[in-house]
Structure 1
Amino acid sequence: MNTITKGLIAGAAGTSALNFTTYLDMAVRGRPASSTPEETVERLAGDTHVDLGEGQQAEARKEGVGTLLGYATGLASAVGYGVLARRRVPWPVGVLALTALAMTGSNAPMTVLGVTDPRKWPVSSWLSDAIPHLAYGAAAYLAYEHLR
């Protein structure tokens, strides 16, 4: 099995863990979903002059594309890890590397586009972001190393 295939499988496992952790947090704390993926799509569409449509159609496209960007980030992060980590990496280093890749991949574009500013986040927002990404890192690492 090649590096890209292993990375895609590991990224899917990590993304599932991230989503599970996020939705569990929403259920336990009764908090709403983040609107930043949709805001990111709206900014990208505006900057690239892409028409998302009107009303419900535009909202559905923002939600759908925002979710797809999340999956793409999860898959690309694990593929990137596989390309960079040609040899087995100790679990704490691998988990933290995958966590950092996924967090950077999701937050950097939103920061550059002005959708969010992590420097202004309260601790609760950092935890709501870091814990699911840590779950991503752990699941993706375990999957990748199992496939190795």
Structure 2
Amino acid sequence: MHSITKGLLAGAVGTLALDVVTYTDMLVRGRPSSGIPAQVADRLARRASVPLGDGAARDARAQGAGALMGYGTGVAAGAAYGLLLRGRPPLPNPVAGPLLGAAVMAGANGPATALRLTDPTTWDTASWLSDIVPHLVYGLTAAAVYRALG
């Protein structure tokens, strides 16, 4: 199997794992979902002059676009990992996992920070943990799937 294909699959499974951890955290702690992805999608759509509609339809489209951007980030990071490893053996999972997790976390939080929708320097410990843990799970899962695909 081609390394980019393995990376795409690994990124998709890693994204699923991230979502499972995130939704489990929401279930256990009773916390709401973040509105930041929808806000990023809305701001980017406005800047690109992409119409999302008005009112509730706009909110729903922004929410859907934000979620899809998250999937895109996870799958693209896996593909990039596969591209970087083309013809090389995979990194050990304890190395690759945190690196992949950090890359996806930066890809998810970078636009929100650049658009001034969040400021990680103001996050409390619980906020950092609720962001770091799912992204680390993403990275470890994606690395393990990539390795398992041979």
Please say whether Structure 1 and Structure 2 have the same fold, judged by a TM-score greater than 0.5: yes
State the one-letter code of the partner of 2:6.
Answer: K
Deviation at 1:91, TM superposition (A): 1.7
Mapped to 2, the partners of 1:61 and 1:88 lie a distance apart of 38
- 1:22 corresponds to: 22
Cα-to-partner distance string for 1:93-145 (whole Å, 9 max, x where unaligned): 11111111111111111111111111111111110100000110111011000
The alignment's C-alpha RMSD in Å is 1.0
Structure 2 partner of 1:59: 59
Q: Which residue of 1 aligns with 2:76?
A: 76
CA apart distance, 1:18: 0.2
Task: Provide the aligned length of Structure 1 versus Structure 2.
Answer: 148
Code of the aligned partner of 2:100: L
1:29-44 aligned at under 5 Å gives the runs: 29-44=29-44
CA distance in structure 2 between the aligned counterparts of 1:126 and 1:24, rounded to whole angstroms: 16
Gaps of 5+ in 1: none
Question: 1:84: Cα distance to partner?
Answer: 2.1
Contact 1:19/1:132, CA 8 A, preserved across alignment = yes
Between the two proteins, what is the percent identity of the paired residues? Answer: 49
Aligned 1:1-148 pairs, distance under 5 A: 1-85=1-85, 86-148=88-150
Question: What letter corresponds to residue 26 of structure 1 in structure 2?
Answer: M
Runs of 4+ in 1 over 4 A off after TM superposition: none
Task: State the TM-score, normalized to the length of structure 2.
Answer: 0.94
- Cα distance in 2 between the residues matched to 1:39 and 1:75: 21
In 2: Cα distance, 1:84 partner to 1:4 partner? 9
Please report the TM-score for the alignment, with normalisation by the length of structure 1.
0.96
Offset at residue 87 of structure 1 (A): 2.0
Residues 5 and 82, structure 2, Cα contact 8 Å, conserved in 1 = no
Q: Distance in 1 between matches of 2:15 and 2:71?
A: 7
Contact 1:81 1:97 (8 Å CA) reproduced: no
- The answer to whether the Cα contact below 8 Å between 1:22 and 1:128 also exists between their aligned partners in 2 is yes
Q: 2:46 is aligned with what amino acid?
A: G
Q: Distance in 2 between matches of 1:6 and 1:91?
A: 15
- Give yes or no for contact 2:8–2:75 (8 Å, CA) kept in 1: yes
